[in-house]
Amino acid sequence: MDDLRTEIRDAFEREQAAHPAAANLRYRVVRETASRPAPNANLQWMAVAAALLIGALVVVGLMSSRVAVRPAPATTPHPTSSAIPDYGPPPAGVPLLYVGDPNHPGWYVGFDWNGVPRGTIKLEQAPDELRSLVQAPDGSGFLLDAGGKETSGQTLDRLGKAQEPFPVPTGTRQLVWADDNRHLCSLAIQNGNVVLSWHVPTYTANAAILGKQNGPDNLGYAIRGCSFATDQRAVIEHDLGGGIPQPKEFLVVGLGDGRVLAREPIAPGVANGIVVSHDGTLVALNSLKSDGFPEPTAAHTVVRELSSGSRIDLDPSLGVLAFSGDDKVALVTTGWFAGRPTNLQAIELATGKVLWSYAGGQELAGYLAEPDSGNFALMLKQTGTHDLHPKVSILIERAGGTSTAVPGSFSQP
């Protein structure tokens, strides 16, 4: 590489020697450069450039002012985690369970038994705090319950629209749905007598006069079951009055002719409030031990099958709350006490097998049985809540052992 550089330099020097540059070349170049006049500034072009610059600044200023005052684009509000959408009219023929929308009084959301929201009903007027919305077993109709006070018998259709009131008997204090989701049974006090009736919208039939009330504020009688789907009958619990403990009995009354089909005493040591299946075929007699009473209590909690007389004995610490829609499962508790967590189990009646248990630390606020199945929906609230319509969560428990927790918080109807 050094040899090549040397050869190039030698060749350049030979070329310069053969053709020498003028002696004053450097001088002339410098002189010409120094004596060349500077170019004259073109004032017209400067004015044009200034005008263009000022115009650009004005346009930019106007654009920035428009951006500053332009309203923000309209956006579709997105529901917060606590907001519940409007799911539209509920479908016909689908069994639903309903809970209240706490953000919209008078709105109720219907879920299917997979926990999927399927519809929203909107009452024309929200019920007052002392009234409850009681759904038919499959959610195809509703009743505004007065909580033990005299009621007008107002029913609603599956869309929540008020139906023509049936001529409810004067003095009606209890009104319950039948298992066919259409009929209702009632008890009324008339001239001191307790009257059993049945109803459909726009029609009432008096079934029987059961007897005299026991006191001014106590019926002495209570409907525990009302059936029309298979057999037209009501199961009635009757406090006979007098004595400690107070003697009780239950009656099976035909709704067609008012005849007493069966009458059986309730043994001492059994808690108030017998539990009857939706079709009136099973009766549970809970031991007082399930309510935390000391001895003497009934030795067992008993489930009776009325047609055959057969019985199933359960542990006396268990209290039956309800029977499933297919009469195969009993929902039981070891004590449902206000302000304390509720422990629950589902027991298969044929085998005594525990199908599922709940011990989640919340208090039971209510429950529903799915028609024609062994599934239950539990409404659970925080312990210590005493509101008439508390905030609840929904847990669907299935006889097969699976469960579904419905997202969100609702109000008990």
Task: Give Cα 101 to chain centroid, integer Å.
Answer: 8
Mean pLDDT of the chain: 82
Tell me the domains of the chain and their CATH numbers.
Answer: 268-413 (2.130.10.10)
Rg (CA), the chain: 43
> For the segment 1-38, what is each residue's pLDDT rounded down to a tens digit?
444 444 544 544 444 444 444 434 333 333 333 333 33
> Would you give per-residue pLDDT tens digits along the chain (413 residues)?
444 444 544 544 444 444 444 434 333 333 333 333 333 444 443 443 444 444 444 333 434 433 333 333 333 333 344 689 999 999 999 999 999 999 999 999 999 999 999 999 999 989 888 889 999 999 999 998 876 666 777 889 999 999 887 777 888 888 999 999 999 999 998 888 999 999 987 788 988 999 888 766 567 899 999 999 988 999 999 998 766 667 899 999 999 999 999 999 999 999 989 999 999 999 999 999 999 888 889 999 999 999 899 999 999 999 999 999 999 999 999 889 999 999 999 999 999 999 999 999 999 999 999 999 999 999 999 998 889 899 999 999 999 999 999 999 999 99
Q: How far is CA 193 from CA 25, 171, 216, 220, in A?
A: 141, 10, 11, 11
Q: Which tokens is 346 given?
A: 């589902």
> For the segment 62-121, what is each residue's pLDDT rounded down to a tens digit?
344 333 333 333 333 333 446 899 999 999 999 999 999 999 999 999 999 999 999 999
Alpha helices in 148-284 (DSSP H): none
Length of the chain: 413
Q: How far is CA 278 from CA 36, 142, 330, 349, in A?
A: 116, 17, 12, 15
Q: Which tokens is 363 given?
A: 């208090």
Other CB atoms within a 10 A radius of the CB of residue 298 amount to 20
